[in-house]
Chains A and B, each alone.
Chain A
């Protein structure tokens, strides 16, 4: 995907900042809203180049829809991961078999890889250590498959089909 123009990125950053402001202040008072808008506009001048990669093209309906589907799935994985940890910590035999494996990804954008790395960290038993090009280094608390292909299938694939739609 091509890089977005400067104005495009700027507007996207302002929108994100302003929405965060409104949610954090949780008010509809006019003075708060005006100050928030001014601050968003000012902060975005200095930060739009770092905060946004593709500008407004992130806000297509399809992406937003997939994000809405993905959010509960992610939350569910977080809860599953916690019960998994609880089981491993409390079981007297402590069923752990830790190891560090490599996982390949098809995602191309940096934001996509970040989202994948975050998701992997919150999945049951896995924690991303580093990302380089298309390889993720993952610490796995119970190694089921030592090969790159096997680990990829086990760890990365369930998330990729959503993240591919969101981040491309």
Chain B
């Protein structure tokens, strides 16, 4: 029973990791790709590590802590990457509807000048 749950978590994680990679190929621009890769790799890694913890109960607590750290830190990293990409002017896809970023960062530069 424990093994079934463990392997289920492992495969669950693997499927989402695969979907994240698939998203990288299909989606049109860097920003939407980051969306796909951030979300799926976070859950993918989280579920895989937790699955290992369930299969080997000795490691469960360690795996739980590692999984929690992944869950807490992955969004910060992707935010920083996304911000850097936007500031260096990586183009957005044509179907983009609205872009308030120019205004947002414009204000910031004015604020720094003062």
Contact flag A143-B97 (CB < 8 Å), given A78-B39, A122-B39, A132-B108: yes
Interface residue? A99 (CB, 8 A): yes
Interface code B26-40, partner A: CB below 8 Å = 1, 0 otherwise? 111101101110111
Interface residue? B82 (CB, 8 A): yes
Contact flag A121-B97 (CB < 8 Å), given A26-B62, A139-B31: no
In the bound assembly, the distance between CA atoms of A82 and B71 in angstroms comes to 13
Asked if A101 and B62 make an inter-chain contact with CB atoms under 8 angstroms apart, the answer reads no
**Count of B residues near A, CB < 8 Å?**
48
Interface of B is mostly: helix
Q: How many residue pairs at the A-B interface have CB separations less than 8 Å?
A: 127
Contact flag A98-B36 (CB < 8 Å), given A23-B61, A23-B62, A85-B20: no
In the bound assembly, the distance between CA atoms of A110 and B52 in angstroms comes to 34
Q: What are the residues of chain A within 8 A of B1 when measuring CB–CB? A: none
Asked if B98 and A132 make an inter-chain contact with CB atoms under 8 angstroms apart, the answer reads no
The residues of A with any CB-CB pair to B shorter than 8 Å are 20, 23-24, 26, 74-75, 78-79, 81-82, 84-86, 88-90, 94, 96-102, 114, 117-118, 121-122, 125, 127-130, 132, 135, 137, 139, 141, 143, 146
